[in-house]
A and B are shown apart, each in its own frame.
Chain A
Amino acid sequence: MGAMRGPSVGTQVVAHLFLVCVTMLTLYPILWVVNMALTPGQAFAVGWLPIPTSVSLENFEYVLTATDAQGTCIFINRLCNSIIVSTSTALIGLIASTTAAYAMSRWSFPGKEAGMQLFLTTQMFPSVVMAVPLYLMLDNLHLLDSLTGLVVVYSTTSVPFSVWTLKGYFDTIPREIEEAAWMDGASRWLTFWRIVLPLARPALAVTGLFSFMTAWNEFILAATITSDPNKFTLPVMLQRYVDDYGAEWGHFAAGSILVSLPVVLLFFALQKHFVGGLTAGGVKG
C-alpha cells in the first residue's frame, strides 16, 4: 500500500523542486536565444539573467525583410535554398531506397548480407570525414557553390539511412496480405505498388521527414561547399551573422527561432518514431 502512494510529501516536494531547477538549467541557453531575439540591438546580452529589459520585434522584422545588393530578400532566398536542398535530399533518399528496403526485408539473395552491411557501415562514418574527396569531386564536376552539389553530399547520408529505416518498417508489415495477393496472381511489382506502398505511407513520411530535418540542420558542409551567398542555406546564413566578421546577435537569435521552430515542432511530432528507428538500425544523427 505504501509502495503505491510513493514517498512522503516532503520528498515529493523536493523532487518537484529539483525538476524545476534542472529544467530551468536546461532551458537557460534557449532562454538566451529568446532574450536576444526580443531585445532590440545586436550586442550579446550582458548579465546572467536572460530577461529582456525592453521588448521589440525589430530583429525578426530585419531578418525577414533584409535585402542584398540586388534587392532580393535574403531570408526568402536562403529559405528557398534550404527547402530545395532538403526536399531533394529526402526524395532522392526515398526513391533510391524504397524498393531495395522492401527486397531486403522480404527475399533472400546472394550478397544480401554484404549489402546490408554496406549500408550500415556507410552510415557510421560522418560526412565530414568524406569532406575532402567530396569537395574535390564536386570541384571537378563544377558543382561547388551549387545546390546540386549540396544535394549530392547530403544524399550520401539519406540513401543508406532510408534503406535501413524502411527495411525496419517493412519487417513489421505482416506478409499474409502480400501472399494472398500473389495467390491471386498479382506480380511482385503490382503487390508492392498497390498494397505495400500504401500501407507504408506513414513510414515513408517519417523517413523522408527525418532526411529532410538532417539536411535542414546541416551546417559545416554547406559552409564549406558554398561561398556564394546566393547559394547559402539557412544555417550558413545564421552562422554568418555571428562569425569573425559580424556580431549581429539579435539577428542571429531571431533567425534561429524562425529556422528552428518548424523542425522543433516536427521533432516533437515524430520523436516516438525516431527513438525506435535510430536504435534499431540507423546510426547517424
Chain B
Amino acid sequence: MLTLFCLWGAYAAEPIVVWHAMGGTEEQALLSTVEEWSQHSGREVQVVAIPAGAFDSKFETAVPRGNGPDLAITAHVKREVWREMTLLEPLELPDRPWWPAAREAVVDRDGRAWAIPLSLKCPVLMYDPTKIDHPPATTDELLALAREWADHGDYGLAYEAAVPYFHAAWMHGFGGQLFDAQGEATLDTPEQVAAFGFVHQLSADGLIPGSVTSERLGQLYDEGRVPLVINGPWFVPDRKRKIAFAPMPVVSSTGLPARPYLTVDVAFVAQGADPDAALLAAWLGSEFAEVQRRDIAGQVAASQELLYTDPLQRVIALQAETAVPMPVNARVLSAFEAQARALRRVVRGSASPEQAAEEAQYWYASLTQPPAAPAAAWPYVLGLCAILGLLSWRAREHAGLVKSVYQFRYTYLWVFPAVFAVVVLVVLPFIAGTTVSLLSGNGGDWTFVGMRNFVSIVLSKDWPLTSPMSFYYTLLVTLLWTSTNVVLHVAIGLGFALVLREPWVKLKGLWRSLLILPWAVPNYITALIWRSMFDAQYGAINALLGAVIGHPVHMDWFASFGTAFSANLITNTWLGFPFMMVVTLGALQAIPRELEEAAEVDGAGLWLRFRHVTWPLVKPALLPAMVLGSVWTFNMFNVVYLVSQGEPDGSTEILISQAYRWAFSRGHQYGYAAAYAVLIFGVLWLYSYGTKRWAR
C-alpha cells in the first residue's frame, strides 16, 4: 500500500510551468523544444502564453504568492529588479561560446548567473537595395548618402530619433554611456553632447523626419520616400518594398562603431521553482534548441556557434559582436525618460546639444530624487489632536444633536446606503490621498515627509517659475485653456442656436442631430482621431492646408507651444460647442418670439436685439452651463493626454494631466502626485466657492 502511494506521488508530480510572451513561430519553436525535453526527461511541462503587456506585473505578483511559473522566458532587462525582489534563483551558466554581450546580460557583477541566454535582437541599418548599392560604413558616408536623397518631402534616413533605445547606437559610438561603473547616470558628458550634436545635425539639415513613430517609418519606407532606416527585426515582415541589411556604421569622428542596444531573450528560473526547471532552462540554451529557434522562428542565437543563411539573421549576428546589452539598472526607465525629453528638444532644434544634455542630467536627478529625510510626525499628530479637540468642543454646543439624530434614526436608514458608498468610495480614498501627499516613496516603502511635497510644489523648488514643470506655469496654462475653451464653446454654440432657431430654416432636426454628434461620440475616440489628423507627415489638417495654399505642408503641430495648444483647443472646441448649443436652444424655446419681433418692429438692429432682448433671456440658462462647462474643461484629461500628449516638453500639460504623469509615468512619485491632486482639489473648491458667491 505504502509503495503504491509513493509511486502515485511520483507520478502526480506537478508539471513544470513555463511562462512566455511570444507568439507565432517563436512560440512554435519553444513548444517543439520543450516537447523534446519532456520526452527525454519524462517530466510534464505546461507552457503558458502570457500577454506581453501583463507579463512583468503578473510575474511580480504571482511568484511571491507561490503561484508563479517555474521558468519565465522574457527579455533580460528586469534581471536586477527581479533579483532584488528575490524572485529569481541563481543558476549555473553552461560552458558555451556565448556572445560576450549575452553573457553580460545574464551575469551580475559578482559573477553569478541569473538566467540562460536564448536569443538576441537589436536594431540594424536597413536600406532600400533598389536605391543604394553599398550601405554606408561610416557616419560620413551615411551623411553624404542621406544628403543625396533628402529632398523636398523625402528624407535621407529615418529612425525614431527621439527614442533613447535607438539613440543608444550613436551614444555608444561617440563614446558615451547611460550609466557609469557605479551605476550613476552620465547624461551630460562631452560624449553625450557630441552624440546629441550628431542628431541635431541630422535634424537641422532636414535629413531625418522630426517626429516619427514606428508606423510612420513603415509608411515612409514603403512609399519609397526614405532609402535608409534604423530599426529592429520586427520592422521587416510587413514591408512592401525590397529591403537589405547592414551593421551600424562606424562613427567617423571617434572611429568607434555605433553600438545599438541588444535585447537578450532569456530563461529565468523563478524563486522556489522545481529543481528540474534549471535543467529545462539549460536545455533551452543548448545548441539543439538554438538550431530549432533559428530554423523555425528565424531567431539569432545567444551563442556564437550557429551559421545563418538568412541575410537579416546574419547581420544581427554580426551586430551582436559590438552591441551593448540593455542596461539592467533599476533606474533605466528614469534615464530613458530624461534622455527622451532632451532628444525631443534636440530633434526639434529648440535646445542646443549642450543645453539638452545638461537638462537631461537635471531631469534624471529630479526623477530619481532620493526620498526626502523623514520629517518628525509629532507636530502633525499634535495638530490633528488639536483639530479633533476643537471639533468635539464645538459639538458640545450642539448637545441636542445626539437626541435629534436618535429621533431621525429611521430616516437615516434610508440615506445609509448612499452615504456608506460615498464614504467608502470617495471619502476614504480622499483621506488616503491626503495621507499619501505627506509621504514620499513609490509604492513599497514610504517615508513621512510632512508638508515637503507641498512646499516643493508651491515654492516651485525644483523648477524655475517659467519652466513647464512648475506648478504655476501649468496652472496658468490650465486657466488659459479653460477660459479660451469656454468662450469658444459659448460663442459657437450660441451662434448655431440662434441660426437654427429661425423659423425659415429647413431641415432643423437634421442640422441639430448632426451638429450634436461630436458630443455623442466617446471623446477618447475622437481625440485619437484628431491626434492623427494633426500628424506632420500624413495628417488631414496639413493636407487640407496644402490643398488650400497649393504646395505640400509638413508642419509639426506639436513642436511649439502655440500650435500644440491650438491643436488641443481645436479638438476641444469641436467636442464642447454642441453642449452649449443644446442648452441655448432649450432656453430659446422658452422665450416668446413676440418679444424680439416687437423689438424688430421698433427698428432695433440685430446686435441691439441680441444684446437687450435675447441675451438677458438666455443668460439664466447659460450661466450654470458655463460653470459646468468650465469645470469639464478644467478637467479635460483625455484631450490633453491623447492629442498633444503634453508636447512640446510638457508645456501644454494641464494640472490634472500633470498630476497623472507624476503618478504613473515619471517614476511613480505617488506622494508628489497626491500633493498635486490635493492642490487641484483646492483650486476647484475655490472656483466653485467663487462661482457660488458670484451667482448670489
A and B form one complex = yes
Q: Tell me whether B422 and A122 are in contact (CB under 8 A).
A: yes
- Residues of chain B within 8 A of A156, CB atoms compared: 425-426, 429
- The answer to whether A174 has its CB under 8 Å from any CB of chain B is no
- List 14 extra interface pairs beyond A128-B659, A136-B436, A267-B520, CB under 8 A: A16-B505, A19-B500, A26-B517, A48-B547, A50-B540, A100-B414, A115-B415, A130-B677, A131-B664, A156-B425, A220-B638, A246-B215, A263-B522, A276-B586
- Residues of chain A within 8 A of B621, CB atoms compared: 279
Contact string against B for A residues 253-285, beta-carbon threshold 8 Å, 1 for contact and 0 otherwise: 000100110011001100100011011000101
Q: Tell me whether A110 and B529 are in contact (CB under 8 A).
A: no
Q: Tell me whether A3 and B601 are in contact (CB under 8 A).
A: yes
Q: Tell me whether A132 and B436 are in contact (CB under 8 A).
A: yes
Where the two chains meet, the residues of A that have a C-beta atom closer than 8 Å to any C-beta of B are: 3-7, 12, 15-16, 18-19, 22-23, 26-30, 32-33, 43-48, 50, 68-70, 92, 95-97, 99-104, 107, 109-111, 115, 118-119, 121-122, 124-126, 128-137, 139, 142, 144-145, 152, 155-156, 159-160, 163, 188, 216-217, 219-220, 224, 227-230, 235, 238-239, 242, 244-247, 249, 252, 256, 259-260, 263-264, 267-268, 271, 275-276, 278-279, 283, 285
- The answer to whether B11 has its CB under 8 Å from any CB of chain A is no
Q: How far is the CA of A3 from the CA of B625 in the complex (A)?
A: 31
> A207: shortest Cβ distance to chain B, in Å?
13
- The answer to whether B7 has its CB under 8 Å from any CB of chain A is no
> A234: shortest Cβ distance to chain B, in Å?
9
How many residue pairs between the two chains, A and B, have CB atoms under 8 Å in the bound complex? 268
Tell me whether A23 and B436 are in contact in the complex, defined as CB-CB below 8 angstroms, given that A69-B49, A130-B429, A132-B677 are known contacts. no
Interface residues of B in 613-630 (CB under 8 A from A): 621, 624-625, 628
> B658: shortest Cβ distance to chain A, in Å?
11
- The answer to whether B116 has its CB under 8 Å from any CB of chain A is no
By beta carbon, the residue of chain A nearest B517 is A30
- Residues of chain B within 8 A of A247, CB atoms compared: 213-216, 218
Q: Tell me whether A26 and B574 are in contact (CB under 8 A).
A: yes
- The answer to whether B582 has its CB under 8 Å from any CB of chain A is yes
Q: How far is the CA of A2 from the CA of B108 in the complex (A)?
A: 90
- Residues of chain A within 8 A of B418, CB atoms compared: 96-97, 99-101, 119, 159, 163
Q: How far is the CA of A130 from the CA of B663 in the complex (A)?
A: 11
- Residues of chain B within 8 A of A249, CB atoms compared: 532
Of A22, A137, A278, the residue contacting B432 (CB under 8 A) is A137
- The answer to whether B637 has its CB under 8 Å from any CB of chain A is yes
> B217: shortest Cβ distance to chain A, in Å?
10
- The answer to whether B538 has its CB under 8 Å from any CB of chain A is yes
Q: Tell me whether B522 and A259 are in contact (CB under 8 A).
A: yes
Number of residues on chain B facing chain A (CB within 8 A): 108
Q: How far is the CA of A142 from the CA of B511 in the complex (A)?
A: 49
> B362: shortest Cβ distance to chain A, in Å?
25
Q: How far is the CA of A199 from the CA of B517 in the complex (A)?
A: 31
Interface residues of B in 659-673 (CB under 8 A from A): 659-660, 663-664, 670, 673
Q: Tell me whether A27 and B514 are in contact (CB under 8 A).
A: yes
Interface residues of B in 388-422 (CB under 8 A from A): 401, 404-405, 408, 410-412, 414-422
- The answer to whether B380 has its CB under 8 Å from any CB of chain A is no
Q: Tell me whether A228 and B54 are in contact (CB under 8 A).
A: yes
By beta carbon, the residue of chain A nearest B65 is A142
Q: Tell me whether A136 and B670 are in contact (CB under 8 A).
A: yes
- The answer to whether B141 has its CB under 8 Å from any CB of chain A is no
- Residues of chain B within 8 A of A50, CB atoms compared: 540
Tell me whether A228 and B58 are in contact in the complex, defined as CB-CB below 8 angstroms, given that A136-B670, A264-B517, A279-B628 are known contacts. yes
22 A-B pairs (CB sep. < 8 Å): A19-B500, A19-B505, A22-B515, A23-B511, A26-B514, A44-B535, A96-B417, A103-B411, A122-B422, A130-B433, A132-B670, A133-B429, A144-B57, A156-B425, A160-B426, A163-B418, A242-B532, A244-B213, A247-B218, A271-B582, A275-B583, A285-B632
Tell me whether A217 and B523 are in contact in the complex, defined as CB-CB below 8 angstroms, given that A97-B418, A247-B215 are known contacts. yes
- Residues of chain A within 8 A of B529, CB atoms compared: 29, 32-33
Q: How far is the CA of A119 from the CA of B49 in the complex (A)?
A: 45
- Residues of chain B within 8 A of A263, CB atoms compared: 520, 522
- Residues of chain A within 8 A of B421, CB atoms compared: 92, 96-97, 155, 159
Greatest chain A CB density within 10 A among B213, B215, B436 is at: B215
Q: How far is the CA of A156 from the CA of B631 in the complex (A)?
A: 18
Q: How far is the CA of A118 from the CA of B664 in the complex (A)?
A: 28
Q: Tell me whether B502 and A6 are in contact (CB under 8 A).
A: yes
Greatest chain B CB density within 10 A among A5, A45, A131, A230 is at: A131
- The answer to whether B680 has its CB under 8 Å from any CB of chain A is yes
By beta carbon, the residue of chain A nearest B670 is A132
Of B411, B546, B600, the residue contacting A48 (CB under 8 A) is B546
Q: Tell me whether A160 and B422 are in contact (CB under 8 A).
A: yes
Q: How far is the CA of A40 from the CA of B61 in the complex (A)?
A: 41
Q: How far is the CA of A54 from the CA of B361 in the complex (A)?
A: 51
Q: Tell me whether B670 and A219 are in contact (CB under 8 A).
A: no
- The answer to whether B130 has its CB under 8 Å from any CB of chain A is no
Q: How far is the CA of A50 from the CA of B525 in the complex (A)?
A: 17
- The answer to whether B350 has its CB under 8 Å from any CB of chain A is no
